[in-house]
Amino acid sequence: MSDDASPSRAADRTQAILRTTVELAQEVGYAKLSIEGVAARTGVGKHTIYRRWPSKGALFLDAVLTPSEPGLDYPDTGDIVADLRRQICAAVDLLGRPPLGPLYRALVGEAQHNPAVAAALNERFIRPQADKTVARLRRAQQQGQLSADLDLDVAMDILSGPLYFRFLITQEPLSHEYVERVLDALLAGMRPTP
């Protein structure tokens, strides 16, 4: 066996475990998902999984977030409205419907009861996305597209709040049309006054 075969095999096994976790969660739901079930379906020992992930929540977090991380970068076309629309619609398309929507909703639910999952979700997904939004808003503010005294952190909260409210509380569908309505309502108060 060559030295480079082992890391490759470990990476393949990790991907198989993550893929199986998503598949099994889609079939049985998060509540019935178990590390034992993932291990059995993947054909690995449960200790192999526990060595990499200390809990079902940590495994689920990696399985749900790993495929979604690359797709949510902000464009910078010079038009803040178009850029927000594009990025938020991409997030809605990715997280607002199956297969990732129900899984992400379950992940946020798990974060309410598991401080380690909450911290990891914030560190790996929520904070980086919020930082990207604030950075894009800051550039727009510097370009005069937004009010100079706009609190950018609050603007971020205002932009994401209605979407999370629909996604988590009312579970109404998230659509591009709804994103447009949110942007129209919020940007009216964010623009510089003439």
Comparing 9-13, 49-53, 153-157, 178-182, the range with the smallest average pLDDT is 9-13
Residue 67 pLDDT: 62
Integer CA distances (angstroms), 104 to 46, 76, 118, 185, in order: 24, 27, 12, 27
Are 174 and 116 within one domain?
yes
Do 136 and 84 form a contact (C-beta atoms < 8 A)? yes
**Model's pTM, two decimal places?**
0.80
For residue range 146-185, list pLDDT tens digits in order: 999 999 999 999 999 999 999 999 999 899 999 999 999 8
Are 50 and 87 within one domain?
no
* CATH number of the domain residue 35 falls in: 1.10.10.60
Nearest-angstrom CA–CA distance, 21 and 183: 35
Domain-located, residue 96: yes
For residue range 109-129, list pLDDT tens digits in order: 999 999 999 999 999 889 999
State the residue range of the domain holding 169.
Answer: 69-190
The residue type at 36: E
Q: What are phi and psi of 143, to 5 degrees?
A: -85, 0
Are 94 and 171 within one domain?
yes
| Concatenated DSSP letters of 44-59 | S-HHHHHHH-SSHHHH
Q: Average pLDDT of the chain?
A: 88
Are 133 and 171 within one domain?
yes
Are 103 and 168 within one domain?
yes
| Concatenated DSSP letters of 78-105 | S-HHHHHHHHHHHHHHHHSSTTHHHHHH
Are 112 and 170 within one domain?
yes
How many domains would you assign to the chain? 2
